[in-house]
Amino acid sequence: MGTPGDNFRVVAGRYRLEARLGRGGMGIVWRATDQLLGRQVAVKEIAQDDSLSEEEARRQRDRTLREARAVAQLRHPHIIVVHDVVEQDEQPYIVMELLDGGSLADRISTRGPVDAAEAARIGVALLGALRTAHAAGVLHRDIKPANVLLGTASDEADSERVVLTDFGIAQVVGATTLTESGAFVGSPEYTAPERMSGLGTGPASDLWSLGALLCTILSGESPFRRDSLGGILHAVVFDEIRPPDEARPLLPVVRGLLERDPERRLEAAEAERMLRAFLDTGRTPARASASTSASGRTPKLTSRRTAKPAPGYTPTQRDVPRGQSVPSPSTPVPSPTPAATAEQPPRRSTRGVLVAALLVAAMAGAGVSAAALLLRGDGDGGVAKGASPVSSAPLTSTSAGTSPSPSRTPSATPSATARTPNTPTAPSGYRLAHDPDGFSLAVPEDFVRVPQGERIFYMSPGETFRLGIKMSDPETGGPLAVMKSAAAKGADTNPGYHDGKVTDTTHYGHPAALWEFSWNGFSTAEGPRHTYDMCWEEGGRMYDVWVSAPVGKVREAKEYFDVALDTFARA
């Protein structure tokens, strides 16, 4: 908390800004005094984008004021009270009630996770707030622990009060987004997959965020937390969803809220009924009307894709470890298991990778997308003549000098789905390389083609990432035999080779194998590396695509690998 200075700034001739309470992406929050009514208030000074033209800035101010006034009309005991919306010197300010209790995030940070009963109480309060907002056509779009306040006023009732605040990026249904400037807004760990996938937002998106919040306050960490933005996007849209053990008492609610398909997601009224039942009985009932699959069974929570492939795309087995099969685009992806052998993660469409790339570029302000592919060269990968291939293993979490944890490898389900002709296009941050050797694929814009005999490489500056491609005649035993042979020679071609794994799979119905391993790199300066390699037979030819990268950049590399496989096409 800031310290009041001698010279206070007065806004709109009435609100004296006395101390800065905090700062976020949407602006600065001040402790202030309403000099007209003689009461303490909180004033949010909305941040302005200096890069906007004068006309764009004016439109943004108008949207801010219009939608903030809509939020001010909301009346609910668990929604922050907005007293006033003012403008001074073309700067918008939102005047709100002042609560000194701190946020739910502060509580978790200082006192640890809450128990199931407290989580249920908080959930009921927030569901009531959201139902009121949604009925008024207002979407919050940034539900997270930091935006939930716990009142600590002198009276006992207020000390128990749960308050949803910071509607700073709220959206009025049918209106232009409050913070619309071409950038994504929100907190990735709590953002619904349909928003990540560019499929729009609605009340169900806020309910997904509440599900993630419940997991966080019960365990102390969001189930979608990863060590990079790209990793978070992947976790939200594609990875297995594993609610923490602490969420078990409320699991039917958590699972219902974290349903990837918004049409199947638990509705607010039903979620509130279930949480109230838990508070009354100590047991959470099953949802009254769970959506069911064609088989009549409720689909599993994990790995359901909501984004459809972009026109002209056919998803490929980029995420599938060698030795695993690829689900058809129309078949729900099976739930992952912890096992690391012969398992297949849910495949993503190129549209999904494109969306992740666009989001990262928008959110991080970077010129490259989140998708990054692991490359293999001599010693890095490629099944030809002693080179070790890299598998298209699932996205895994790693730290420097360690191989990815097998616990994140999802399960495989065989599929005979054949690849259909497609006309791939490059995601944001990529270019479609039409290689003179008779194939095409999307590679990052700064990757350079480097032919090496039978292999073609596309390398990043400094060769940090090495993407390799090789085409050859089929060999006896098929891809699995070729990859196993290469793995047996892994120590000869890859210094310090370890944790190698070859799995049998299919690639759109074609025989395939995936090889994943770690090694020490070609020099001390280069350092430990990790490689993914996919080999398959198609149309009387054998294809091999691999990516190699430093172990500390496995997530980025895996995304490069995924995009390469997703867009690979024969000439």
Let me know if residue 292 belongs to a domain.
no
State pLDDT tens for residues 268-321: 999 999 999 999 999 999 888 544 333 333 333 332 333 333 333 232 332 333
Neighbours of 89 (CB within 10 A): 5
pLDDT surpassing 60 at residue 137? yes
Predicted confidence band at 527 (pLDDT cuts at 50, 70, 90)? confident
The per-residue pLDDT for 380 is: 56
Contacts 24+ apart (CB under 8 A), 451-454: 452/377, 452/378, 454/384, 454/385
Residue with tokens 């293993």: 393
pLDDT at 1 over 70: no
Question: Which pLDDT score is estimated for 152?
Answer: 59
**Do 366 and 515 sit in the same domain of this protein?**
yes
Residue 388: which CATH number? 3.40.1000.10
- The helix (H) or strand (E) run that includes residue 95 is strand 91-97
Q: Which of 32, 62, 97 is the last residue of a domain?
A: 97
Q: In 3D, which of 171, 174, 175 has the Cα closest to residue 184?
A: 171
User: Which position has the higher pLDDT, 99 or 178?
Assistant: 99
pLDDT at 287: 85
Among residues 34, 89, 106, 142, the one annotated as catalytic is 142
Which letter, b or e, does each residue of 300-319 get, where b requires 16 or more Cβ atoms within 10 Å of its Cβ? bbbbbbbbebbeebbbbbbb
Q: Give the span between the Cα atoms of 79 and 126, in whole angstroms.
A: 8
Q: Domain ends where: 97, 122, 141?
A: 97
Give the domain extent around 250. 104-281
End position of a domain, from candidates 224, 259, 281: 281
Got the DSSP string for 227-274?
SSHHHHHHHHHTSPP---GGGGGGHHHHHHHT-SSTTTSPPHHHHHHH
Cα angle: 506, vertex 563, 417; to 5 degrees: 30
Q: Are residues 557 and 486 in the same domain?
A: yes
pLDDT at res. 387: 36
- Mean pLDDT over 195-218 rounds to 89
Same domain, 472 and 437: yes
Distant-in-sequence, close-in-space partners of 502: CB < 8 Å, separation ≥ 6: 322, 323, 391, 480, 483, 484, 487, 513, 514, 515
pLDDT tens per residue, range 232-265:
888 898 888 889 999 999 999 999 999 999 999 9
Instruction: Tell me if 327 is assigned to some domain.
Output: no
* Cα 249 to Cα 212: distance, rounded to the nearest angstrom: 15
What's the whole-number average pLDDT of the chain?
Answer: 73
Q: How confident is the model at residue 546 (pLDDT cuts 50, 70, 90)?
A: very high
| Whole-angstrom distance, CA of residue 306 vs CA of residue 33 | 48
In contact, 499 and 403? CB cutoff 8 Å? yes
Mean pLDDT across the stretch 456-468? 91
- Among 229, 234, 216, which Cα is nearest to 347's? 234
pLDDT of residue 182 exceeding 50, the answer is: no
Is residue 289 included in any domain, yes or no? no
pTM: 0.52
Looking at the structure, do residues 152 and 249 belong to the same domain, yes or no? yes
| Same domain as 555, residue 437 | yes
Q: Is residue 394 domain-resident?
A: yes
Predicted confidence (pLDDT) per residue in 83-129, tens digit: 988 888 888 898 988 887 788 998 998 999 999 999 999 999 999 99
d(CA 74, CA 375): 53
For Cα atoms 201, 206, 210, give the angle at the middle one, nearest 5 degrees. Answer: 150
Whether 100 is a known active-site residue: answer: no
Find out whether 408 and 319 touch, Cβ atoms under 8 Å: no
Residue 353: per-residue pLDDT: 41
Which stretch, 99-108, 261-270, 416-425, 485-494, has highest mean pLDDT?
A: 261-270
At 39 the pLDDT is: 94
Please indicate, yes or no, whether residues 275 and 385 belong to a single structural domain of this protein: no
Domain count within the chain: 3
